[in-house]
Structures are given as structure tokens and as C-alpha cells.
Amino acid sequence: MAEIVLFHHAQGLTEGVKAFADELRQAGHTVHTPDVYEGNAFATLDEGIGYAKKTGFGVLLERGVEAAQSLPENIVYAGFSLGVMPAQQLTQTRPGAVGALFFDSCLPVEEFGTWPDGVPVQVHGMDQDPWFAEEGGDLDSAKALVAAVDTAELFLYPGKEHLFADSSLPGYDEGAAKLLMQRTLDFLSKLA
């Protein structure tokens, strides 16, 4: 079974993120869920992004990286949206990453250097999500990652929702979330 660090999205460590982590635990995996918002959670994405801007994205990234320092090196780094920042940085810069799972976001690989040899990654997002597919260039970054790395996969789901796999939010899409979870579990089973 895999050991995973799962970073939350801009609304904080919500009940939906906790439920996602619990589902991975029920499958036998060890999951760590650091709270880089220090207990703060927000009802809307805009409020969460406002908090992130006020706190500073660099500070949040640093908190995420620090949270992983006490964990074993042989770990899977995962994140939802904003949480992809520390997950991707750690995957690319901390020795021993065994895999990566990026939900609703993907940064250009060049942000953190190069992709580590042999480390598999899955990127998941909705094909019409303005945060993923249009505005930020995440989809383009994911496509570039898949084109450059043999062990990279991109999964697109029909819809416009951001954070569609968080069961505590209004944008939750049960069908897409179940498929995402199945693909995640399949990915993790290959790492064991």
C-alpha cells in the first residue's frame, strides 16, 4: 500500500477533502492531510482565494513543503487545485517520490525544474472548468507534461465544475468523482 500526502484546495481542509482521504485509507493506504490554512476553511472559492492572497501563495507553498519534511521520502504527493503547488514542487524536488496525483490543476514542469525520471503522474480535471481548462493554462501544462513524460496520464471529465471531487461542495459531481477515485486507486495499486 502507498503512503500519500494530500494537500487541500483553496477552500481549506474541507469535509470533502477529509472524506476523499478516508476513502483512500479504507483501501489500505496511509494518508496525511496537512492543513496549510491552519484551521481556516471557506464557504466559497473566492473567499478561499482571498485568504490565500492575503496570506501569500509563497507562504502556503512553504507550509506545504515543511509539512512533508517529517514524512518518509518514498511517498505519493497529491493535491487538489491550490494543493497541487506543494504536491508538484515536492514531487519534482524532494528525492524519493513514487508518484503524483494532481486534481483540478497542473503547473508547468519548468516551475520546479525537470520531471524526475520514472515517477508516474495522473492529472484530473473537467474539460470546461474555467479554472483548469481556460484561464490558468493548467490543461495546457498537463498536456505538455503528458507529451514529455511517458509515465504521465491526463483524464478529462465532461463538465465545468472546479473541485468536482469534493463531496462537501455544491459543485460535487458524483459520477465523475467516483471515476476519479477508481482511477486513483488503480494508479496507487500499481505502485505497491
| Residue 150 structural domain | 3-189
How many structural domains comprise the chain? 1
Q: pTM score, two decimals?
A: 0.96
| pLDDT tens-digit map of 106-133 | 999 999 999 999 999 999 999 999 999 9
| pLDDT tens-digit map of 147-181 | 999 999 999 999 999 999 999 999 999 999 999 99
Based on C-alpha coordinates, what's the Rg of the chain? 15
* Confidence class for position 134, pLDDT limits 50, 70, 90: confident
146: domain CATH number is 3.40.50.1820
Cα 137 to its chain centre, rounded Å, is 16
Residues 162 and 129: beta-carbon distance below 8 Å: yes
Residue 179 exposure: Cα atoms within 13 Å on the Cβ side: 12
